[in-house]
Amino acid sequence: MTPSGAPAVAIANLQKRFGGGRTLFGFGPEMPSVHAVQDVDLTIPTGETLGIVGESGCGKSTLARMLVGLIAPSEGSIEIEGRDLGPAAGRDPAAFGRVIQYIFQDPISSLNPRKTIRQVIEVPLRRLHAMGPEARAARIAEIFDAVNLRHEFLERYPHEFSGGQAQRIGIARALAAAPRILVLDEPVSALDVSVQAQVLNLLVRLKAEFGLTYLFISHDLAVVEAVSDRVAVMYFGRIVELARAADIFARPRHHYTALLARSAPVVGRALTAPEAATAELPDPLAPPPGCAFAERCPAATDRCRKERPEFRDLGNAHFAACHHPA
Amino acid sequence: MGAYILKRLISAVPVVLGITVIVFVIMSLIPGDPATAILGSYATPENVAKLNRDLGLDRSLPEQYFIWIGNMATGEFGRSYSLNRPVLDEVMERFGATLILAGTALVLCSVLGIVAGVISAARQYGLADKAITFAVLIGISIPSFFLGMMMILLFAVDLRWFPVSGMYLPYGGGDLQDLLWHLAMPAAALAVVATGVVARLSRSAMLEVLRLDFIRTARAKGVGERRVIWGHALRAAMVSIIPVIGVQAGFVLSGAVYIEIVFQWHGIGEMLVNAILKRDILLVQGGVVVVATCYVLFNLVVDVCQSLLDPRVKA
Amino acid sequence: MSAAAAPSSAGSRGPVGAFLRLFARNRLAAFGGIVLGLVLLLVLLAPVLPLADPYAQDKPNKFLLPFSAGHLLGTDHLGRDILSRLVWGTQTSLAVGVAAALISATIGSAIGIVAGFYGGRTDNLMMRAIDMLMAFPYILLALAIVAALGPGLVNALIAVAVVNIPFFARNIRGVTVGLAHREFVDAARLAGQSNLRIILTEILPNVLPVIVIAMSTTIGWMILETAGLSFLGLGAQPPAPDLGGMLGQGRNALITDPHAAAIPGLMIFIIVMSVNLIGDGVRDALDPRLRAGALMRPMARTQIDRRGEAPPAPAEPALLDLQELRTEFRLGARVLKALSGVTLSVKPGECLGIVGESGSGKSVAALSVMGLVASPPGVITGGAVRYEGEDLLGAPYERLRGLRGNRVAYIFQDPLATLHPLHRVGDQIVEAIRVHRRVPEAEARARALELLRAVRIPNAERRMGDYPHQLSGGMRQRVGIAMALVNDPDLIIADEPTTALDVTVQAQILALLADLRRERGVAILFITHDFGVVGQFCDRIAVMYAGRIVEEGPTAEVLGAPAHPYTRRLIACVPELGAGRRELAAIPGLPPAVDDLPDGCAFAPRCARATPECRRGEIALAPVTATRRLRCLHPEVELTREEQR
């Protein structure tokens, strides 16, 4: 619990545009820009696991990187535990680092190949918490026990580890900063299924042990459903639906969520194309004026193509941006 | 395509201007008084002052620079004091000779280098690969001026196959055959190092490409090995070989300086070295600016070739 | 896939030790090291060796030939001792070359790191300046600098150092840009490191090998360049001994007294060649890709080194039979057994799915069929691949090539990487037809277009002229499918064809493949790690673990009642949508390393049902019912009993 009782994360009207600007030192023609994240409002109460699902290019990783201050938002505010960290984004990652940490998708490439594991894990203790050598050693031992890693791994180099082990090391590094919030960006999608569950179960246990708040990003609906309290679905830079994990795929209101749920291959379900055979994402350089999903949507009307649907409360803690919710 | 060429042409303008600035700044660093250098140490102070005025050397540096490029823009490069003729005439005449030499060497090294590199990669660790790798090692380790001298000793003095030096027979001759006869040795000597470099880079570019997934796709389609190597792989490798050829043009031009001296080929390199030794600044400036500008234009052509070859380069 | 991943994990404690070992193994580099060592020894001993005074002139004795009394290498045009001048000149040349390399490496690398790390405007400005320097053919710039500073050794050194700065700046910038976007740099930021500290502790250690490589491969070049300037009379000034200068002076009497020029020229050649050999050795030892042996070209066909006879053909050959197929990767002393005896068969028109985790050998099995496993390092060491009963491992290459893409076609995983980036997609399909059939271009184009329509690519005529990068991932995979179908093959081997795609696109592609298969009656060997996909798509499945099939049978039976403990537990690990929040099942431990497979069942160390017999001897893949085969002593369900009745 934060002292102020503020939610762990509160973001409002968050926007991110890439590209744009002008060539020739600001005098040339305007360059094309891509609106990667648009109008995202999101509150994560302390202790919750919020899942975010979406396909590649939907803006989920951009959102996550803004949340931990690795890139600065184009517009909007980011409040972490009641403190507005928006201005520090992209400038002072350490301001974020003490409260919020990031777990990367590719566990091996998130570790510097030329450093031993001890050197990697010591950095946050030294830089963020100014610990002395003995305090560091004690803390590292504690964290390594928490993530079930053998202590002799500390003196080895990253290439000696399998994906699952490397991901535990990544988690240990994040925990060393003693954050209260973790942003997990596809933490298990590079792992095999038999190892994936080991890491997921560890994450669930650590959450209870350290009282953490999670933002869990994945393209795998079943994984997200298994670990989340609430789930947000992103499409083309926007959140299109947000509901309790138990409801969202069982009773989707937005037609994109329904399509996602139908598309996941399931043993025993007959193979049928869930939609028209060639439906594709709109062109990000020329976004449509109305609902971005309208061209693929079975329920779309003329209104959907002209007017962008509001993200609204449909009751029962279920939100969706759709003119004709299911 | 036209728009792309235009865009690249426009972007070459600041580069050429930058070249003139660099040349001008370097030349203005020269200690001592050019007028004294030109007139010799017996000149009277009045004569020195007059020459300084004539050369515009009594003005501020930026002013001098603008006068200088203004003059160059109208084709007025000044007069070489050591040769007592217009700089531009001399530079153009000499540069033409250099282009014949360097152009021949560049074509030689590109063709031979790419072929050797491809064969070497296709037969990795085979006999041909080892032989080519060994030849390349010798090629890139031997100083071209030393190689030129040894070639003179062997082919001109001992075997008498080719002439020792010069571009044409001094009296009579002067036809194309005569030129080629004189060109053979210097062009070969000049091409050796560059061939080695091109062969090396072509080999590694080919090895790089041959491991890629689309080569496996081609084989999975049943495409024959010759076509896989010379069609699929070389096509993709050319994307990284072409820029190397652009860079090699610079090396060939540079190597030409030595070769021109060794073979007394009256090109721009020989002219520049003599001009530097005689402190003929206007001649150095003019020569450097003309050659560098041509080199920029050549690289522009390379870029355009690259964009023709690779549709992923945004036109 | 496993082949690419495995070498990078090659265990090597202590990077320095590994470097020295690799360097010493390289005989050419060692030779270069010895030669250069001798030259260095000579140079370092110069003050104590009984050498003549390099400046002492003796004009009556000019141009003495080598082996003259008192002058081992003869004398030059002023009667000076060439040996002495050679030794002292070598010292100068080496010192100047190394100094120039160090100076330009330091300045150039600093520029490259700063520009690459900060990016944006800093990068733009610095690189524009570098481009400006590169706009000169290097010698023009060097000549201009020498012209300004005046001839002399130090000025030549400065000129050579300056003209080589762009080379380092550009190389190092490129590497740094790649590193600056790596995840470990982001992680360091979040761990509170300042930019300066990130450059010093995260970037620099990773860039250093590249700097060393660049330097070791350019020192030789720089020695040549400084010698060249001296040769032109712009470097070391007479009477100082310098190799380039000696060569230049010797040139004047080249025809009458060639030794005065030849000796210093040879010396330059020896130095530069030994430096280059060392440079290549350093590069080979430091470049991680070369170290892993990855920069080898795969041959047209996987190498075959079959020990013993091919197994006899089965009594009733299917369309495709793999019999006890063994494929391994030979990486130096390590041998990774990717396949240790795989037996399976595909009947005409049926779809067999191979399921397994990464490293199980499923892709290697797929690629072994048509000899497409990258070789080196891949070698097929045993068993047989039979197409309609014919042993393909023994068949000549031309026979195999005739089948590839014609009777047996492939669809690969990542359609961006697997299509040729510089060929139009239409041409790529046309080529697939014309390598097997002599048909006119127009006819082939019509056929290609027909196929593009069959895989439901909108605007097929226009798409024929597109390059792969102009298509979306889903469209590219449709092109891949069209290319596989174009010769009406009997069998398609699909190696994770939908893994790189988003889930909604995957559903489209799977539905398309299922339709095409129904319409055309083509058999499919479908490789995947996803039980959901095989469950929907395949008639039969084979489960692989550590290079072997552990269980095989009709899809519904295997998924409904998995008999091998690995199959059962793996299926339990797959989270299913709609089950709500829950604890997920996991398999403890890791799959075994394929260069160190245990005896007996490879799964035994992770298996709850394992007994001591499981860890001994071979366990056969035995038929347990008419349709199912199993490699287990303690199956999860008893299948044999009902069969015996």
* Domains of chain C and any CATH numbers: 92-291 (1.10.3720.10), 419-488 (no CATH)
Domain B91-314 has CATH 1.10.3720.10: yes
ω into C377 cis (within 30 of 0): yes
CA–CA dist C504, C511 (Å, integer): 11
B116 in reach of chain C (CB within 8 A):
no
Buried/exposed code over B5-26 (b: 16+ C-beta within 10 A; e: otherwise): eeeeeeebeebbebbbebbbeb
Token pair of C286 as six digits: 């430091």
pLDDT of residue B3: 78
CA–CA dist C350, C541 (Å, integer): 11
**C384: which strand partners?**
C323
Q: What is the mean pLDDT of residues A117-121?
A: 93
DSSP state of C561: S
C-beta atoms of A109 and C578 within 8 A: no
DSSP state of A313: E
Predicted confidence (pLDDT) at residue A160 exceeds the cutoff of 90: no
Name chain C contacts of B29, Cβ cutoff 8 Å.
Answer: 148-149
* C-alpha dihedral sign at C282, A110, C3, C366: negative
Each domain of chain B, given as residue ranges in start order, spans 2-73, 91-314
Name chain C contacts of B214, Cβ cutoff 8 Å.
Answer: 417-421
Predicted confidence (pLDDT) at residue A3 exceeds the cutoff of 60: no
pLDDT of residue A31: 67
CA–CA dist A51, A55 (Å, integer): 14
CA–CA dist B117, B301 (Å, integer): 23
Chain C residue whose CA is closest to B235: C422
Option in C137, C405, C422 nearest B222 (CB): C405
CA distance C95 to chain A (A): 32
Burial of C432 per CB tally in 10 Å (0-12, 13-18, 19+): buried
CA–CA dist C153, C580 (Å, integer): 78
Q: What is the mean pLDDT of residues A160-183?
A: 92
Q: Please state whether at least 3 CB pairs lie below 8 Å between chains A and B.
A: no
**pLDDT under 70: residue ranges of chain B:** 1, 31-41, 55-56, 167-174, 314-315
CA–CA dist B61, A269 (Å, integer): 82
Chain B residue whose CA is closest to C226: B143
B250 in reach of chain C (CB within 8 A):
yes
In this structure, what are the phi and psi dihedrals at residue B12, rounded to the nearest 5 degrees?
A: -80, -20
Instruction: Tell me what percent of chain A is helix, strand and coil, each rounded to the nearest 5.
Output: 35, 20, 45
Instruction: Please write the tens of the pLDDT for every residue from C335-381.
Output: 889 999 999 999 999 999 999 988 899 999 999 999 999 988 899 99
In this structure, what are the phi and psi dihedrals at residue B30, rounded to the nearest 5 degrees?
A: -60, 125
CA–CA dist B257, C352 (Å, integer): 68
* Contact residues, B window 257-276, toward C, CB-based 8 Å cutoff: 257-258, 261-262, 269, 272-273, 276
Assess contact for A201 and C583: CB atoms under 8 A.
yes
Euclidean distance between the first and the last CA atom of chain C, given in angstroms as a whole number? 44
Q: Please state whether at least 3 CB pairs lie below 8 Å between chains B and C.
A: yes
Chain C residue whose CA is closest to B227: C435
CA distance A116 to chain C (A): 11
CB atoms within 10 A of CB C180: 18
Chain C residue whose CA is closest to B311: C422
Instruction: Please write the tens of the pLDDT for every residue from C474-499.
Output: 899 999 999 999 999 999 999 999 88
C-beta atoms of C590 and A195 within 8 A: yes
Q: Please state whether at least 3 CB pairs lie below 8 Å between chains A and C.
A: yes
CA–CA dist A35, A56 (Å, integer): 15
In this structure, what are the phi and psi dihedrals at residue C613, rounded to the nearest 5 degrees?
A: -60, -30
CA–CA dist A6, A44 (Å, integer): 10
> Judging by DSSP bridges, how do beta strands C390-391 and C378-387 pair with one another?
antiparallel
The ipTM assigned to this model is 0.89
Token pair of A200 as six digits: 């997921």
Assess contact for C574 and A221: CB atoms under 8 A.
no
DSSP state of B84: T
Contacts of C363 (CB under 8 A, 6+ apart): C1, C2, C495, C496, C527
C-beta atoms of C579 and A96 within 8 A: no
Name chain C contacts of B296, Cβ cutoff 8 Å.
Answer: 135
Element (H, E) at A263: helix A255-263
* C-alpha dihedral sign at C8, C11, C15, C16: negative
Name chain A contacts of C193, Cβ cutoff 8 Å.
Answer: 123, 127
Name chain A contacts of C577, Cβ cutoff 8 Å.
Answer: 221-222, 225, 249, 261, 264, 266
Label each residue of C386-406 as H, E or C.
Answer: EECCEECCCCCHHHHHHHECC
Assess contact for C534 and A266: CB atoms under 8 A.
no
Token pair of A99 as six digits: 């409260």
Assess contact for B149 and B136: CB atoms under 8 A.
no
Distinct helix (H) and strand (E) counts, chain B: 13, 2
DSSP state of A192: -
Predicted confidence (pLDDT) at residue A119 exceeds the cutoff of 60: yes
Assess contact for A112 and A158: CB atoms under 8 A.
yes
B47 in reach of chain C (CB within 8 A):
no
* Contact residues, C window 492-521, toward A, CB-based 8 Å cutoff: 502-508, 510-512, 514
Assess contact for C551 and C544: CB atoms under 8 A.
no
pLDDT of residue C25: 65
CA–CA dist B105, B85 (Å, integer): 30
CA–CA dist B152, B264 (Å, integer): 12
**pLDDT under 70: residue ranges of chain C:** 1-19, 21-25, 288-295, 639-645
Buried/exposed code over B278-287 (b: 16+ C-beta within 10 A; e: otherwise): bbbbbbbbbb
